[in-house]
């Protein structure tokens, strides 16, 4: 990808202390993100899927340095975001923004739409109030609201419209990257389609890159160019969307895809059930995090954690089944 690379995440780890408190040692650590690496190109949609508690939201926050990592690196346009001073970070934030899941709790009910949408501008530029208002009006039109909405409060809008306000807030600084954390999960299906289409149109128009976090595989398939699936803090598989959906190579991806209830009564399949629950990240299994639920598990899976290998061009898995069968194997 070369200079098309916008975001590079390398060996990112985030641990949270368990228990403990003031003057008290934590009783243990949870590795919410456990050594994650990937890149996102300019203008690309990168999907991050996984079940609750897999660490996808924490990862999204780390990418924007909304929290500090335990170890690892994130570079944005070649610059290490964890090494830079606060003033520089603030300038960089103009180029990376976030959209949250819940359009109700992510907008301050006491702020007018104008103040909400222009807040990132106030923080990062020294434009005058009227200039900011003009930018905000322009952006509102772009996301399908009206300039007249600037003087309203969030409660005057429906859920879908609120999510448009959230999108407008992220866009008003003309960012290069948007982390969208479950942006349509709280919306009904007819409204969901409106917001997905809007995100797609804006991407084309403004050459945006998305890190699109979602638990909904059909939405991610629709939106994204590449998909990574996380399980207990690690990426299990990463591949271009068509390959990911049609030829998944990790048993977890396979199980996840088969569990989605297909909206066709003629295709009632007895799903291949994944037994049991996701293990607690407080006490993760040894070896491969997926092995207790995996149908193909063998000895090595219980002992050693597989690292991510490129098994086909741009297709990575962390699974002993695929290990050594990949590109390196073919080359030698």
- Only one of the segments 7-15, 148-156, 240-248, 296-304 lies at the binding site for other proteins (rule: CB under 8 A); that segment is 240-248
β-strands 45-49, 226-231: how paired? parallel
Residue 57 or 161: which CB sits closer to other proteins?
Answer: 161
229 near other proteins, judged by CB under 8 A: no
Site string for other proteins, 74-113 (x = CB under 8 A): ----------------------------------------
How many C-beta neighbours within 10 Å does residue 281 have? 19
Residue 190 or 331: which CB sits closer to other proteins?
Answer: 190
- Only one of the segments 57-65, 107-115, 130-138, 190-198 lies at the binding site for other proteins (rule: CB under 8 A); that segment is 190-198
- Only one of the segments 55-63, 99-107, 215-223, 284-292 lies at the binding site for other proteins (rule: CB under 8 A); that segment is 215-223
Site string for other proteins, 125-164 (x = CB under 8 A): ---------------------------------x-xx---
For 116-146, give the secondary structure using H, E and C. HHHHHHHHHCCCCHHHHHHHHHHHHHHCCCC
β-strands 45-49, 209-214: how paired? parallel
178 near other proteins, judged by CB under 8 A: no
Among 11, 271, 324, 329, binds other proteins (CB under 8 A): 271
Range 185-210 burial, b when 16+ CB lie within 10 A, else e: ebbeeebbebbbebbeebbeeeebbb
Among 90, 111, 123, 259, binds other proteins (CB under 8 A): 259
Contact between 238 and 316 under an 8 Å Cβ cutoff? The reply is yes
Strand partners, 74: 9
User: What stretch of H or E contains 214?
Assistant: strand 209-214
The Cα 302–Cα 208 span in angstroms is 41
The Cα 81–Cα 63 span in angstroms is 9
Site string for other proteins, 6-45 (x = CB under 8 A): ----------------------------------------
Among 268, 283, 330, 332, binds other proteins (CB under 8 A): 268
Instruction: Tell me the three state secondary structure of residue 174.
Output: coil
The Cα 240–Cα 250 span in angstroms is 14
Among 96, 168, 177, 217, binds other proteins (CB under 8 A): 217
70 near other proteins, judged by CB under 8 A: no
- Given the rule CB under 8 A, which residues bind other proteins? 51-52, 158, 160-161, 188-194, 196-197, 200, 215, 217-219, 221-222, 241-242, 245-246, 255-266, 268, 270-271, 273-278
């Amino acid at each position: 990808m070369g200079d098309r690379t916008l975001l590079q995440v390398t060996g990112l780890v985030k641990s949270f202390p368990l228990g403990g408190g003031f003057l008290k040692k934590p009783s243990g650590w949870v590795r919410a993100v456990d050594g994650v690496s990937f890149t996102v190109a300019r203008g690309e949609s990168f999907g991050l899927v996984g079940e609750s508690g897999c660490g996808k939201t924490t990862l999204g926050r780390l990418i924007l340095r909304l929290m500090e990592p335990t170890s690892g690196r994130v570079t944005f346009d070649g610059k290490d975001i964890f090494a830079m001073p606060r003033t520089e970070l603030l300038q960089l934030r103009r180029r990376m923004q976030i959209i949250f899941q819940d359009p109700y709790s992510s907008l301050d009910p006491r702020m007018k739409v104008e103040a909400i949408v222009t807040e990132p501008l106030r923080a990062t530029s020294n434009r005058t109030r009227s200039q900011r208002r003009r930018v905000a009006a322009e952006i509102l039109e772009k996301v399908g609201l009206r300039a007249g909405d600037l003087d309203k409060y969030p409660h005057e809008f429906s859920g879908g419209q609120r999510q448009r306000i959230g999108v407008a807030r992220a866009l008003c600084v003309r960012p290069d990257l948007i982390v969208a954390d479950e942006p349509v999960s709280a919306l009904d299906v007819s409204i969901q389609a409106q917001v997905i289409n809007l995100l797609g149109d804006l991407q084309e128009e403004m050459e945006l890159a998305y890190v699109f976090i979602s638990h909904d595989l059909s939405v991610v398939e629709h939106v994204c160019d590449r998909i990574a699936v996380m399980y207990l803090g690690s990426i299990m598989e990463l591949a271009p969307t068509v390959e990911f959906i049609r030829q998944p190579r990790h048993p977890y991806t396979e199980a996840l895809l088969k569990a989605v209830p297909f909206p066709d009564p003629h295709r009632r399949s007895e799903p291949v059930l994944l037994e049991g629950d996701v293990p607690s990240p407080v006490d993760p299994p040894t070896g491969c995090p997926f092995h207790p639920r995996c149908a193909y598990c063998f000895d090595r899976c219980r002992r050693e954690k597989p690292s991510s290998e490129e098994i086909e061009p741009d297709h990575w898995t962390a699974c002993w089944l695929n290990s050594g069968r990949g590109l390196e194997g073919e080359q030698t």
